[in-house]
Amino acid sequence: MKSMPRWVDLFLIPAINVFLAFLVAGLVVMFIGEDPLHAMRIMIQGSLGSDYGIGYTLFYTTSFIFTGLCVAVAFHASIFNIGGEGQAGVAGIGVAIVALTLDQTHWLLVLPLAVLGAGLFGAAWAAVPAYLNAKRGSHIVITTIMFNYIAAALLIYVLNTYLKVPGSMAPESRRFAGGAHIPRLDQMAEWIGLELTRTPANISLFLALLACLLVWLLIWRTRFGYELRAFGFSEPAAVYAGMAPFRIIMITMLISGALAGMMAINVVLGELQRLNLDSVQGAGFVGIAVALMGRSHPVGVILAALLFGVLYQGGAELAFEIPAIPSQMILTIQALVILFTGSLENMVRFPMERLFLFLRLRKEAR
Amino acid sequence: MDLAELFQLFDSTLRNATPLLLACLAGLFSERSGIFDIGLEGKMLAAAFAAAAVAAWAAAPYVADPFPGQLSGLGLGWTAAILGVLAGIFASILMALLHGFASITLRGNQLISGVAINFLAAGATVLIGESLFSMGGQTPQLSGNARFSGLDLPLAETLGGIPILGPLYRDVISGQVILVYVALLAVPLTAWVLFNTRFGLRLRAVGENPGAVDTAGVSVVRMRYSAVLIAGILCGIAGAYLSMGTSAAGFVKDMTAGRGFIALAALIFAKWRPYPALGACLLFGLLEAIGSKYQNVDIGLFVIPVQFMQALPYILTVVILAGFIGKAIPPKAGGVPYVKER
């Protein structure tokens, strides 16, 4: 028997947890000697107060949707994929190869092939840990962490050895030519006669929203999605029902890795227009917070990604306005969100369960 | 490569291995009790910061009326360094308790808790550092009493004349910071505690079959909290070593630079055993030393890129985990919260 109504589980508890995380963050700001409400106003003003701010917020949001989905899909199968960072980094190589080869053509050709390249490279980087987990029983969390570091080394090697501009010291590829420039949101707004400030937000935002829809369809409307959730709920039960764990783990991780890889479209193709060493910049890890906060549901992921987009853009403005609050504030908030919505979740859940049990018992006693 | 160069390499191997070893033993205690700990990195980082901050403050001379930005401290002598280490241990224990509270008391996800601790440390150290010292997240440079310097072991110069072993003793083993010896001594101590004491037996049992330990009338919760606390202490020393015992001489943001994860790798490589942990940490320390001393290693047939050397600890861990070279089997109850009534 369910001890709590559905809405408590789905909305009230996450809301309380996020509130607690921000409460603690506010206390930290107070401890530093600044006014948390003033800081919050600057953040919201900086991220949502102008089309410039909104553009950057949406740019970050796009990346976080992809990495959030990456973690969320795996969560449904009870797999914790911490490797989004490495998968996105390696996917950048795939994007760069496509873009560097075809940047004399047209973005309509480059974009779908780059999506393919990012997906393939991201999935490939997730495939090894997945295989080792499914076939040899290695712990996937540890393996994906290790693969993050291996990816970083690989990226340095590839950039230094193959993609670096000859004669240049900087470990980055040459800039993609015009044929590989995908439309930015401000350019797209121009098509319908709107004028927006130039920001890196680009067409991949729509890809991200499409990915959310596809993930929703996959998990709740397909046979494989059912297997994936069954496996995540109880592996023995799934095996007993005739499902093959190897297949589920492999496909789930491939999809997860490909989703993480998609963020390279947004950053490498959309913003940097070259491959450099730190194109991911921790977005893979933000995905963990986004998935936890969004309860691994695509709609939740969009909302959580938007919140983190606001935090990142607002945090950058905040660091500019109040130098006493450096951008590491965002990292702290991210940690608190992971802490309260992830590992300390039961701090709210246990008392809630008791409360609703008490309420029900009293009702029945009447 | 002559002998002196080789010893130089061993010297830096030992220095690189020290924080790894301490963190690795910390992970060993925690994971042997059934609590996964991927927050080693965060605990070390928090400790490194707290140690450097307190040591800097304690060693700074007292100023009755400091002008803005000037540090007025306690003006302590060598006790400043001790105070720093204690502060590091304290910060690390706070993090460990948070991990314990989340994963033992609240039965939350231990991996997620570890991830959160890593980010919390990365964010909070810079945040607090900036508000205390306004140096971009760094702590003031430590000097004199506020940091550790090398200890010359007895007879180092006298024995130095003996071929091979003499210089080995003089240049590698002697002249290290005291925390290096603490780390080395922690290995036999850990082995003894783990395999020769009642506490150790219970600790290992609680990581394999907590139900049985509970039935025997021993508190699973208390055992696991003690393990997590020991892990906190060891990570604290590791962090203090990083900021007070190395050439960094102060805290720099993200100064652990993935060492917590290399320690985790060493732990798996050593299959959760103390003496192999020493071997694994020395190996990874050597790899780091080679990687920073030489760029690309030319072995005649082909050139090994430096990035490969840097990635080698991680690659080795993956290989070991996959069971291609001897299977690494973690404690059976690792990562599973213990629920008493079932």
The distance of A251 to chain B (nearest Cα, Å) reads 19
Between positions 263 and 292 of B, the ones with CB within 8 A of A are 264-265, 268
Kindly state whether residue B267 falls inside one of the protein's structural domains: no
What is the distance between the alpha carbons of residues B33 and B30, in angstroms, rounded to a whole number?
A: 5
Closest CA relative to residue B204, chosen from B127, B274, B257, B294: B274
Interchain contact B332–A (C-beta under 8 A): no
Across the range B145-151, mean pLDDT stands at 74
Residue B336: pLDDT band (50, 70, 90) is: confident
Closest CA relative to residue B190, chosen from B95, B315, B276: B276
Q: Would you state the pLDDT for residue A1? A: 45
Closest CA relative to residue B273, chosen from B38, B32, B41: B32
- Does A69 score more than 90 pLDDT? yes
What is the distance between the alpha carbons of residues B220 and B203, in angstroms, rounded to a whole number?
A: 9
Supply the DSSP symbol for B151.
B
Chain B residues whose CB is inside 8 A of the A330 CB are 123
Across the range B221-249, mean pLDDT stands at 92
How many Cβ atoms sit within 10 Å of the Cβ of residue A302? Answer: 20
pLDDT above 70 coverage of chain B, percent: 92
A32 vs A188, higher pLDDT? A188
The distance of A347 to chain B (nearest Cα, Å) reads 6
Structurally, how many domains does chain B consist of? 1
Kindly state whether residue B341 falls inside one of the protein's structural domains: no
- Does A97 score more than 80 pLDDT? yes
- Does B323 score more than 80 pLDDT? no
Give me chain A's average pLDDT, please: 91
Supply the ipTM of this predicted assembly: 0.88
Determine the structural domain holding residue B178 and report its residue range: 3-256
Interchain contact B126–A (C-beta under 8 A): yes
CATH of the domain at B214: 1.10.3470
Kindly state whether residue B137 falls inside one of the protein's structural domains: yes
Find which of A274-283, B58-67, B230-239 is predicted with most confidence, using mean pLDDT: B230-239
What is the distance between the alpha carbons of residues A235 and A232, in angstroms, rounded to a whole number?
A: 6
CB A52 within 8 A of CB A197: yes
- Does A176 score more than 50 pLDDT? yes
Residue type, A263: M
Interchain contact B315–A (C-beta under 8 A): yes
Q: What does residue A142 show for φ and ψ, rounded to 5 degrees?
A: -65, -45
Interchain contact A332–B (C-beta under 8 A): yes
What is the distance between the alpha carbons of residues B202 and B188, in angstroms, rounded to a whole number?
A: 18
Closest CA relative to residue A259, chosen from A220, A227, A213, A221: A213
| Nearest C-alpha in B relative to A145 | B261
| A142-180 burial code (b ≥16 CB/10 A, e <16) | bbbbbbbbbbbbbbbbbbeeebbeeeeeebbbbebeeeb
Could A347 and B268 be called an inter-chain contact, meaning their C-beta atoms sit closer than 8 Å?
A: no
- Does B105 score more than 80 pLDDT? yes
What is the distance between the alpha carbons of residues B140 and B252, in angstroms, rounded to a whole number?
A: 10
| Nearest C-alpha in A relative to B135 | A324
How many Cβ atoms sit within 10 Å of the Cβ of residue A83? Answer: 34
Residue A33: pLDDT band (50, 70, 90) is: confident
- Does B134 score more than 50 pLDDT? yes
Could B120 and A336 be called an inter-chain contact, meaning their C-beta atoms sit closer than 8 Å?
A: yes
pLDDT digit string (tens) for B9-43?
888 899 999 999 999 999 999 999 999 998 999 99
Kindly state whether residue B308 falls inside one of the protein's structural domains: no
HSE of A157 in the Cβ direction (CA atoms, 13 Å)? 18
Kindly state whether residue B268 falls inside one of the protein's structural domains: no
Find where tokens 């936890």 sit. Answer: A292
- Does A138 score more than 70 pLDDT? yes
Kindly state whether residue B112 falls inside one of the protein's structural domains: yes
What is the distance between the alpha carbons of residues B190 and B24, in angstroms, rounded to a whole number?
A: 11
Could A80 and B122 be called an inter-chain contact, meaning their C-beta atoms sit closer than 8 Å?
A: no
How many Cβ atoms sit within 10 Å of the Cβ of residue B147? Answer: 25
- Does B327 score more than 80 pLDDT? no
Between positions 12 and 41 of B, the ones with CB within 8 A of A are 38
Q: Would you state the pLDDT for residue B120? A: 93
**Residue among B108, B113, B321 whose CB faces A142 most closely:** B321
Q: Would you state the pLDDT for residue B325? A: 66
Size of interface A-B (CB pairs under 8 A): 154
- How would DSSP label each residue in A249-291? HHHHHHHHHHHHHHHHIIIIIIIISS--TTSSTTHHHHHHHHH
Regarding beta strands B297-298 and B303-304, do their DSSP bridges make them parallel or antiparallel, or are they unpaired? antiparallel
| Nearest C-alpha in B relative to A129 | B318
**Helix H or strand E segment including A20:** helix A13-32
Residue A54: pLDDT band (50, 70, 90) is: very high
What tokens appear for A278 in the block? 């730190």
Kindly state whether residue B26 falls inside one of the protein's structural domains: yes
The CATH number fitting domain A63-309, selected from 1.10.3470, 3.10.450, 1.20.120, 1.10.490: 1.10.3470
Give me chain B's average pLDDT, please: 85
Kindly state whether residue B103 falls inside one of the protein's structural domains: yes
Q: Would you state the pLDDT for residue B153? A: 73
Q: For the purposes of burial, counting CB atoms within 10 Å of the CB of A226, is it exposed (0-12), middle (13-18) or buried (19 or more)?
A: middle
What is the distance between the alpha carbons of residues B228 and B234, in angstroms, rounded to a whole number?
A: 10
Between positions 112 and 141 of A, the ones with CB within 8 A of B are 128-129, 132, 136-139, 141
**Residue among B103, B111, B123 whose CB faces A328 most closely:** B123
B86 vs B167, higher pLDDT? B86
pLDDT above 90 coverage of chain B, percent: 40
What tokens appear for B1 in the block? 């490569």
Chain B residues whose CB is inside 8 A of the A335 CB are 116-120, 122-124
